[in-house]
Amino acid sequence: MARQKDEDLFQSSTMTFGEHLEELRVCLMRASAGLAVAVLIGFFVARPVVHLIEQPLRKALGNYYTERSVETFDTWQPRVQGGAALPYSRAEILDAVEQHKMSFELREVHPERMARMLGTAQLPAVSEAGSPEKLFDMDGLVPLLLWQPLAKDSRVSITTLSAQEAFGIYVKAALLVGVVLSSPWILYQLWTFVAAGLYPQEKRWVRIFLPISTGLFLAGVCLAFFFVFDFVLAYLLEFNEWLGLDPDPRISEWLGFVLILPIGFGLGFQLPLVMLFLERIGIFDVETYASQWRISVIVIFVVSAILTPADPYSLLFLALPLCLLYFGGLAICRWLPKR
């Protein structure tokens, strides 16, 4: 006997609310177990990961103080007209800081006092303290550049402020490794939970979307780490310079930044896949995506502000690719019509 209603075709595939909760519990437990195993692996590689994470910050600080060194040279003026100039030319300064990765601190000394201290000149003894006949000679100061390798510059070093902070950094690095390594398994459990509430003919989309979802997540992580960090750090350091503040970064704060930004990018890059999935199961259609694009752009900027730290570069570097991905998802839904 033929079925009278289309719903009867899927009667055996329906799930109750309690069954959905049980499926969610199972998926969360499996995802947590996979994350725990990946974090344990992360503990074995956390040390080189910490050094890898430090590199963008050290590079940004090095560039910042290199530019400051050149600006110091360009803006320095003798105290008196015709006074002693800097002992190096601008070409030598640029060669030292850009090619040889050296940094310097500008100091001023009295050359005769320096000669007496080094034992290269015989000068009269300095007058008694408090003697009024000789005052400090400001006009007699001449510039002196103290050189050191940029890697040894204390201003470029990344500090911790407590003994236990290093252990917290180690744990965070292991957690970062665990999240990245377990991301395919976690996404698989997420899509498994979604598939549990679908009809049999819809579940095939989960098998198609899973590898694409993993690739998009890793692409977002790589974009944040290898491209966005440089621009964000350059902007933040320039803002420090504009306010006249010298940055003294802590590795724990930087590591928190590193944890948030790549994961936010990875999750955001799931947008076209989510759009296509919702269109395939009939929740939205292409016309809705096309007519509501203005609202979607506003929502993208709001979500980007939530997923990124409080700086405009992070927001724009996430929001602008997401807007492109939104219209890319719209194009995919239009070019791949339902069969």
Cα–Cα distances in Å, from 206 out to 175, 183, 190, 210, 274?
Answer: 27, 16, 10, 6, 11
Looking at the fold, whether 145 and 167 belong to one and the same domain comes out as no
DSSP label of 329: H
Looking at the fold, whether 233 and 92 belong to one and the same domain comes out as no
Looking at the fold, whether 32 and 161 belong to one and the same domain comes out as yes
Inside any domain, residue 67 = yes
Looking at the fold, whether 199 and 311 belong to one and the same domain comes out as yes
Inside any domain, residue 54 = no
DSSP label of 338: -
Which of 199, 222, 219 lies closest to 280, judged by CA? Answer: 199
* pLDDT on residue 334: 82
Tell the burial category of 189 from Cβ atoms under 10 Å away from its Cβ (0-12, 13-18, 19+).
buried
Looking at the fold, whether 311 and 325 belong to one and the same domain comes out as yes
Inside any domain, residue 55 = no
Looking at the fold, whether 79 and 181 belong to one and the same domain comes out as no
Looking at the fold, whether 229 and 268 belong to one and the same domain comes out as yes
Inside any domain, residue 142 = yes
Which of 262, 266, 272, 264 lies closest to 323, judged by CA? Answer: 272
Look at the pTM and tell me if it is higher than 0.85: no
List, in order, residues 6 or more apart from 213 with CB less than 8 Å away: 187, 191, 270, 273
Inside any domain, residue 11 = no
Cα R_g (the chain), whole angstroms = 31
Q: Domain containing 83: what range?
A: 63-126+138-152
Tell the burial category of 43 from Cβ atoms under 10 Å away from its Cβ (0-12, 13-18, 19+).
middle
Looking at the fold, whether 118 and 183 belong to one and the same domain comes out as no
Looking at the fold, whether 122 and 210 belong to one and the same domain comes out as no
Q: Give me the phi and psi of 222, to 5 degrees please.
A: -65, -40
Which residue blocks in the chain are alpha helix, DSSP H?
A: 17-75, 90-94, 111-118, 165-196, 204-223, 229-243, 251-268, 271-280, 286-291, 293-307, 312-335
Looking at the fold, whether 102 and 236 belong to one and the same domain comes out as no
Q: Give me the phi and psi of 104, to 5 degrees please.
A: -140, 160
* pLDDT on residue 36: 92
Alpha carbon 97 to its chain's center: 26
Inside any domain, residue 257 = yes
Looking at the fold, whether 287 and 308 belong to one and the same domain comes out as yes
Looking at the fold, whether 189 and 147 belong to one and the same domain comes out as no
For the chain, 339 residues long, give each residue's pLDDT as a single digit of tens. 444 444 443 444 556 767 778 888 888 898 899 999 999 998 998 888 888 888 888 888 888 888 887 887 788 888 777 777 788 888 888 888 888 888 888 888 888 777 777 666 555 555 555 555 567 778 788 888 888 888 787 777 777 777 777 888 888 888 888 888 888 888 888 877 777 766 666 667 677 777 888 888 888 888 888 888 888 888 878 887 777 777 777 777 777 777 778 888 888 888 888 888 788 777 888 888 888 889 989 988 888 888 776 677 778 888 888 899 899 888 888 887 665
Structural domains in the chain (count): 2
Inside any domain, residue 291 = yes
Inside any domain, residue 4 = no
* pLDDT on residue 6: 46
Distance CA 73, CA 61 (A): 18
